[in-house]
Structures are given as C-alpha cells and as structure tokens.
C-alpha cells in the first residue's frame, strides 16, 4: 500500500459551470415566452386595426350627419343608408342583407339594433328618400333630430356587439 501513495495525483477542481447547453426546461420556457409575445403582438395589431376602422366609420358618419344637419337632402340619406348596408354586410351573411329592401330592410335594422324606430319612427325615411332625386318633396315628414341619433345608436350597437369591423 505504501507503494501506491506516490502514484496519486493532485486534486483537480471541476471547471466553471456553463449555461450552455441549456436544459430542456429552459428551452420550453423560452418557447412559451416567444409564443406569448407573438400572440400579444398579433392581438395588439388586431385591436389597433379595429380601432382605426371604428374611427373611420364614425368619421364618415359624422361627415354625413353634418351634411344632413346643414342641408337635409335625399342624397345624404342615401349615403347613410349605404353606410348602414356596408356595416350590415360586414357582420351578417351577404345573401341575407343584399336582398333586403323596403320594410324588410327596416325590420332588419330594428331587429339588429333592438329598436322599433326604423319601422315606426324616424327611420322610415330610409324606404323612399334614397330613391328620390335631391330637392324632391320626399323629406316633408323628416325629423333629423330623431333620425341622426337613431342611426348613430344603431352603428354603436353594431360595433359594440360584433367587436369591430372585419
């Protein structure tokens, strides 16, 4: 046994611990963080796009409202009717909306807006006025003070209930 003592070597300390290569748990964590960051970025982008579209819709509606306030005419009502149809087509099947005219169109607006003011109130102007030339006598019973809030409330409900424009 005394002969083995000179053959022993000095103690070697291990090298410094390295972070690389990463353990599987760290790879899983990094992957989850990356997926979460991408998901949050896409969600933020979608929300920003929806807000921009809402702002554009309300800007267009505001322009039409001012036009209707300054000079009530069949053309302004026709443009509002077109805006309502465009919004409806964004949220409901095109085949269902495109064929609606007259009283059925107003019933749809009442049903989707949870009101009765399109068929029994100021919204009835949408049946005839858009199809008459400007300056004709189609606005004799028109009440813009009831019509404008009715349209604005319908647009707000549509955007709120459906989460934006697609």
pLDDT of res. 166: 43
The closest alpha carbon to 113, from 71, 140, 152, 147, belongs to 152
pLDDT of res. 140: 62
Going by C-beta distance under 8 Å and a sequence separation of 6 or more, which residues neighbour residue 20?
none
Query: Interhelix angle for 144-162 vs 24-70, to 10°?
Result: 170
The Cα–Cα gap between 79 and 134 comes to 12
User: pLDDT by residue for the chain (166 residues), tens digit each?
Assistant: 567 777 888 888 888 877 888 889 999 999 999 999 999 999 999 999 989 988 998 899 999 888 888 877 788 888 999 999 988 888 888 888 888 888 898 999 988 888 888 888 888 888 877 676 666 555 666 778 888 899 999 998 888 876 544 4
pLDDT of res. 165: 46
DSSP, collapsed to helix, strand or coil, labels residue 13 as coil
The Cα–Cα gap between 159 and 21 comes to 51
């Amino acid at each position: 046994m005394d002969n083995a003592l000179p053959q022993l070597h000095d103690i070697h300390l291990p090298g410094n611990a390295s972070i690389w290569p990463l353990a599987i748990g760290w790879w899983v964590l990094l992957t989850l963080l990356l997926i979460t960051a991408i998901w949050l970025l896409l969600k933020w982008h979608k929300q920003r796009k929806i807000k921009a579209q809402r702002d554009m819709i309300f800007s267009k509606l505001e322009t039409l409202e001012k036009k209707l306030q300054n000079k009530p005419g069949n053309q302004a009502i026709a443009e509002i009717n077109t805006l309502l149809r465009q919004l409806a087509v964004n949220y409901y099947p095109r085949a269902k909306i495109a064929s609606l005219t007259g009283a059925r169109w107003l019933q749809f607006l009442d049903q989707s807006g949870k009101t009765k003011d399109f068929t029994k109130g100021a919204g009835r102007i949408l049946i005839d006025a858009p199809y008459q030339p400007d300056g004709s006598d189609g606005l004799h019973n028109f009440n813009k003070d009831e019509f404008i809030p009715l349209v604005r409330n319908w647009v707000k409900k549509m955007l709120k209930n459906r989460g934006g424009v697609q």
